[in-house]
């Protein structure tokens, strides 16, 4: 009886209609190898340069020595009390690291019971980061306002998060690696007169924003990911290292290990806050390089919310009323008036603040963004109108909002077009190859707010591609729109279930 059942099962599996077999064979995908335009000739012509470029580059650091400040030295990212950098043994990106950036290290906050000398050393360390050339922010307001409006407007019923600082840094890296009109369009958007002016400004912005003293954490990180079979302009790479604290990696584009290394680097820099989005970042086989920028922020409230006072209440969302947890706090504070909104600020401990902006009744966030008054309000302290000094009863919902976006369309609307056009893009400052253009421009950000404080992270990835994919497969559409078979096999490979679907 057992042999008879086995025979029937075998017959059921093997006696498949010949038409189905022929159709399946006809649909078998055929891979083709498309020519990698000019790469072979380029590799042959630049073999000496390629060998030189494959050697490890010197460790990166600032080329602007400053007067020594107490505790203000240069060391691996994060400092001795934080996780070690990518060169640490066992980390996926360690084997691809060509040059590791050296970050400013700050004296950690000594605590409320510290001696006067300890507090002074900490304060000097913080001030050393803030001591940047006068007027270094000049010209940024246009980019901040225009890009924030471009990327946050039209959210509809969805949450949307955008990091202007993060995208600014990524665009500055892009400007350094491009030339001609491609570069000029970026300079125009960022409000810079020249690449030298942008370089000075970006260097100052990076340092003034960076803080890692154990009480406020604002970590900025940049990196350059190169393919191991191409030669690159050493001077351009050195500039990214010295001015932008960019670590450099080399590896095989399209390999799983190289993609895993990039994902690991992103996770480390964003402290795992954007894992869901990082999984989608990949280094394709036809990528020429990747420019990557991250920002991570964490700070506690100066006056924490009492967790026991958190209670559910109604939030009137565009999709209808919903219940969520609200934090409550009462304090004497200033209420401000902006263009189409009122605002209060909640201070972080030892520096920084979170502004809470409530559109006027009958006004939505899009109207505030399009009104043009948001960025001037945030950037110009002297221009804020005070509604009055009140006993403010704040009810703030706890929230965890995140989003990702393709920057290409938005940047195009903001005037950056050439870098996305294969025929017009100019990447000559970094690589001597034709047909290189930005094929991916991705941005993701997340902000988490609770009773203790705020944690946030963002990344931007710009990936220029070559003119032709390397071993790019043909498209193949496998559409089960007619009767088909299925089989479910067990761990040992034996079929557990086999069936025919005629009416799904």
pTM of structure? 0.78
* Residue 91: predicted pLDDT: 72
Note the pLDDT tens digit of each residue in 488-497. Answer: 656 566 666 6
pLDDT at 92: 78
Residue with tokens 């996780």: 83
pLDDT band with cut points at 50, 70 and 90 for residue 478: confident
468 pLDDT higher than 90: no
- 324 occurs within a structural domain: yes
Provide the greatest CA pair distance for the chain.
92
CATH code for position 190: 3.30.497.10
Summarize pLDDT for 77-103 with one digit per residue, the tens. Answer: 333 334 346 766 667 788 999 999 999
Residues above pLDDT 70, as percent of the chain: 76
User: Does 34 reside within a domain?
Assistant: no
Query: What is the model's pLDDT at position 380?
Result: 87
In this structure, the answer to whether residues 379 and 406 fall within a common structural domain is no
| 470 in a structural domain | no
Q: What is the pLDDT of residues 178-207, one digit of tens each?
A: 999 999 999 999 999 999 999 999 999 999
pLDDT at 44 exceeding the cut of 60 = no
| Residue ending a domain, choose from 376, 397, 418 | 397
Q: What's the pLDDT tens digit per position in 400-430?
A: 999 999 999 999 999 999 999 999 999 999 9
**Mean pLDDT across 45-50:** 33
Of the three residues 349, 382, 397, the one that is the final residue of a domain is 397
Q: Are residues 389 and 408 in the same domain?
A: no
The answer to whether residues 161 and 256 belong to one domain is yes
Specify the pLDDT at position 388.
92
- Check whether residue 91 and residue 142 sit in a common domain: yes
Residue 348's DSSP bridge partners are 301
Helix (H) and strand (E) counts in the chain = 15, 17
Has residue 70 been placed in a domain? yes
Determine the average pLDDT of the residues in 250-268: 96
Question: Is the domain of 183 the same as that of 79?
Answer: yes
CATH code of the domain in which 352 resides? 2.30.39.10
pLDDT at 484: 64
**Closest-CA residue to 120 (of 74, 73, 70):** 70
Q: What is the rounded average pLDDT for all residues in the chain?
A: 82
**Contact 312/326 with Cβ under 8 angstroms?**
yes
Instruction: Identify whether residues 442 and 320 lie together within a single domain.
Output: no
State pLDDT tens for residues 350-369: 888 989 999 988 888 999 99
Domain range enclosing 157 = 39-300+400-465
Do 169 and 261 reside in the same domain of the chain?
A: yes
Phi, psi of 213 (to 5 degrees): -120, 15
Q: How far apart are CA 54 and CA 339, in angstroms?
A: 54
Q: Assess whether pLDDT exceeds 90 at residue 498.
A: no
Domain membership flag for residue 471: no
Give yes or no for a contact between 337 and 385, defined as CB atoms under 8 angstroms apart: yes
Mean pLDDT of 53-64: 34
98 in a structural domain: yes
Distance CA 366, CA 80 (A): 44
**Same domain assignment for residues 413 and 270:** yes
Residue 45 and residue 135 in one domain: yes
Question: pLDDT tens digit string along 105-135?
Answer: 899 999 989 999 999 999 999 999 999 999 9
Which residues fall within 8 angstroms of residue 447, CB to CB, at 6 or more apart? 161, 399, 400, 401, 402, 454, 455, 456
- Whether 48 and 191 map to the same domain: the answer is yes
Is 287 within 8 Å of 442 (Cβ atoms)?
Answer: no
Q: Which residue has the tokens 């790019």?
A: 472
What proportion of the chain, given as a percentage, has pLDDT over 90? 63
> Are both 393 and 485 inside the same structural domain?
no
305 occurs within a structural domain:
no
DSSP state of 197: H
Reply yes or no on whether the pLDDT at 18 is more than 60: no
Q: Which residue has the higher pLDDT, 499 or 145?
A: 145
Task: Give the per-residue pLDDT at 482.
Answer: 77
> Strands 216-227 and 103-105: what pairing?
unpaired
Average pLDDT over residues 290-295: 97
Structure tokens at 163: 């990091």
Residue that is last in its domain, among 380, 397, 414: 397
The model's pLDDT over 141-175, given as tens digits with 9 standing for 90+, comes to 999 999 999 999 998 888 999 999 999 999 999 99
How would residue 319 be classed by pLDDT, with cut points 50, 70 and 90? confident
Same domain, 200 and 331: no
How many domains are contained in the chain?
3
Q: Is residue 151 part of a domain?
A: yes
- Name 353's bridge partners: 347
| 4 pLDDT above the threshold of 60 | no
Q: Which of 76-80, 320-324, 444-448 has the lowest mean pLDDT?
A: 76-80
What is the C-alpha separation between 177 and 233, in angstroms, rounded? 9
């Amino acid at each position: 009886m057992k042999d008879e059942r086995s025979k029937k099962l075998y017959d059921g599996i093997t006696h498949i209609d010949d038409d189905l077999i022929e159709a399946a064979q006809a649909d078998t995908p055929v891979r083709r190898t498309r020519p990698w335009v000019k790469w072979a000739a380029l590799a042959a012509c630049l073999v000496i340069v390629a060998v030189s470029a494959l050697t490890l580059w010197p460790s990166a650091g600032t080329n602007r020595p400053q007067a020594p400040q107490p505790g203000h030295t240069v060391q691996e990212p994060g400092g001795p009390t934080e996780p070690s950098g990518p060169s640490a043994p066992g980390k996926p990106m360690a084997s691809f690291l060509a040059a590791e950036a050296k970050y400013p290290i700050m004296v950690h906050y000594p605590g409320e019971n510290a001696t006067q000398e300890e507090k002074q050393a900490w304060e000097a360390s913080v001030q050393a980061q803030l001591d940047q050339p006068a007027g270094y922010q000049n010209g940024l307001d246009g980019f901040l306002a225009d890009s924030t409006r471009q990327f946050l407007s039209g959210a509809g019923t969805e949450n949307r998060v955008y990091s202007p600082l993060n995208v600014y840094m990524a665009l500055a890296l892009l400007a350094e690696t491009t030339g001609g009109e491609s570069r000029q369009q970026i300079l125009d958007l960022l409000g810079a007169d020249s690449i030298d002016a942008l370089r000075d400004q970006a260097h100052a912005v990076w340092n003034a924003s960076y803080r890692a003293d154990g009480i406020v954490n604002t970590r900025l990180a940049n990196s350059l990911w190169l393919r191991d079979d191409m030669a690159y302009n050493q001077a351009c790479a050195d500039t990214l290292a010295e001015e932008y604290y960019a670590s450099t990696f080399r590896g095989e584009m399209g390999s799983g290990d190289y993609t895993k290394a990039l994902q690991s680097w992103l996770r480390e820099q964003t402290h795992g806050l954007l894992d869901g989005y990082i999984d989608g970042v990949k280094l394709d086989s036809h990528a020429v390089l990747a420019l990557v920028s991250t920002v991570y922020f964490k700070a506690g409230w100066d006056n924490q919310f009492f967790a026991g006072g958190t209670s559910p209440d109604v939030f009137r969302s565009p999709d209808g009323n919903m219940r969520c947890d609200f934090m409550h706090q009462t304090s004497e504070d200033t209420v401000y008036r902006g263009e189409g909104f009122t605002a209060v600020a909640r201070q972080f401990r030892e520096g920084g603040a979170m502004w809470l902006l409530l559109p006027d009744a009958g006004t939505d966030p899009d109207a505030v963004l399009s009104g043009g008054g948001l960025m001037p309000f945030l950037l110009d302290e002297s221009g804020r109108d005070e509604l009055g000094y009140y006993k403010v009863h704040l009810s703030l919902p706890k929230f965890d909002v995140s989003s990702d976006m393709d920057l290409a369309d938005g940047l195009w609307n903001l005037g950056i077009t050439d870098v996305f056009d294969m025929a017009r893009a100019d990447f000559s400052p970094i690589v001597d190859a034709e047909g290189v253009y930005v094929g991916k421009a991705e941005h993701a950000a997340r902000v988490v707010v609770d009773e203790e404080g705020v944690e946030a992270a963002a990344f931007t990835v710009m990936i220029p591609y070559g003119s032709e994919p390397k071993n790019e497969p043909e498209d193949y559409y496998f559409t089960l729109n007619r009767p088909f078979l299925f089989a479910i096999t067990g761990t040992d490979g034996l079929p557990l279930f086999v069936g025919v679907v005629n009416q799904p």
